Structure 1
Amino acid sequence: MATDTRTRMIEATALLIRQRGYHGTSLNDILSASGAPRGSLYFHFPGGKDQLVIEVTRDSVATVTERLGADLAAEGDPAVAVRRIYESVARMLEENEFSLGCPIAPVVLDAPNDVPELAEICRAAFEQWIGLLRQAFMRAGVPERRAQALALLVESSLEGLMVIARAARDRAPLAVVADEVVALVEAAVRSGKAAERADAAV
């Protein structure tokens, strides 16, 4: 039962944070949504709300990182992988009826600088996600500087598109931008391979 209570608190907090952000989620909200007894919060999380939100955010980041890495590893062609990622995000939005987006964006927008560990988790998450994309592009022959720029473009467009799609309650913007970004990735890969062939011919 104790484990069930802890799990319910984690799940409820994850949902509330994505909906309301850090400051918009109170301890009463968490207890109400989880159905947990009031005294259970500090029993399971002696550090209180901060410890709970840190754990939830760390778990959310790990889930996204695993999924992103799997999508990139599943395809030898990074352009195909990128399209798959946009489609995955679009499905996620539809499945939650456009009520939830990126799990850490609400935390970042809530300026969690008063909780340094939480702010660092968010900073490191974006660095890791962008790094995974950059590495996939580089493996396909894209030079590092261009690979970094493309990785930033993909990640930033996804973050912005989640907001736009939620406002419009429509996944169409993701498909439109995916076409443009995939074309850029394909062109970068072709250019990188052509440069490699030219270097090898010298």
Structure 2
Amino acid sequence: MIETTLRLIQARGLHGVSLNDILSESGAPRGSLYFHFPGGKETLVLEAMQAGIDEASQALRESLAQGTTPAEGVRLFFRAASAEMTDSEYRFGCPVAPIILDAPEVSSELAAACRAALEDWTRMYHDVLLAAGLAPARAERLARMIVACLEGALIMARSQQASSIITEVGEEVSEQVAAALAKK
């Protein structure tokens, strides 16, 4: 149910998916839903979104660790996102974007989890840039730009059915990271 929920929400958004859709697609009995997720749809969505966040965070950590420089780590992550977009036939996306776009209550657990994920991803980039010698304020701005560029590239790639957009944006962002580090 968690995998199905994540996949459906990435494709249709929070309000575009009903519990019946999730049960139908997953093949799970209705009783299992309320047994495992007594809070209903919001609890299930929160669990599914967290699974997607964990997967994205792990992929980002791996890309940044595999890159010999922060710029290469950025490039690797954007390439991985591009490949995932192609493999999913343009249904892939950020695990928090569809939730944010469907505007959950600002004080809800869903909104808090979305904010925390974006802050965590920004912090991962920030820490790598800081470790490479950038000043803290510059590392923070550049980290936010990287996250914002990826989010925009994901939307554009889905819209145009062209995962190459993610790769192209990743190349440009990577060049900007390399240039910033060269100036430090």
Greater shift, 18-27 or 170-179, is seen at: 170-179
Cα pair distance change 1:44/1:115, threshold 3 Å: farther
Deviation above 3 Å: which 4+ runs of structure 1? none
The aligned counterpart of 2:138 is: 146
The aligned counterpart of 1:197 is: none
Distance 1:14 1:98 in 2: 14
Tell which structure's C-alpha radius of gyration is larger. Answer: 1
Distance 2:38 2:109 in 1: 16
Q: Is residue 59–residue 77 contact of structure 2 (8 Å, CA) maintained in 1?
A: no
The aligned counterpart of 1:200 is: none
Q: What pairs with 1:102-121 in structure 2 (closer than 5 Å)?
A: 102-113=94-105, 116-121=108-113
The aligned counterpart of 1:55 is: 47
Q: Is residue 130–residue 136 contact of structure 2 (8 Å, CA) maintained in 1?
A: yes
| Aligned match for 1:175, one of 158, 167, 173 | 167
Q: Is residue 150–residue 170 contact of structure 2 (8 Å, CA) maintained in 1?
A: no
The aligned counterpart of 2:35 is: 43
Distance 2:175 2:81 in 1: 19
The aligned counterpart of 1:30 is: 22
Structure 1 residues 76-109: Cα deviation after superposition (integer angstroms, max 9, x where no partner): 3101111111111110111011122111110110
Unaligned runs of 5+ in 1: 1-8, 193-202
TM-score by length of 1: 0.86
Distance 2:92 2:135 in 1: 35
The aligned counterpart of 1:156 is: 148
Question: Identity over aligned residues, as a percent?
Answer: 43
Give the C-alpha shift of residue 114 in structure 1: 7.0
Q: CA RMSD in A?
A: 1.4
Greater shift, 149-158 or 109-118, is seen at: 109-118
Unaligned runs of 5+ in 2: none
Instruction: Give the number of aligned pairs.
Output: 184
TM-score by length of 2: 0.94
The aligned counterpart of 1:20 is: 12
Q: Is residue 22–residue 107 contact of structure 1 (8 Å, CA) maintained in 2?
A: yes
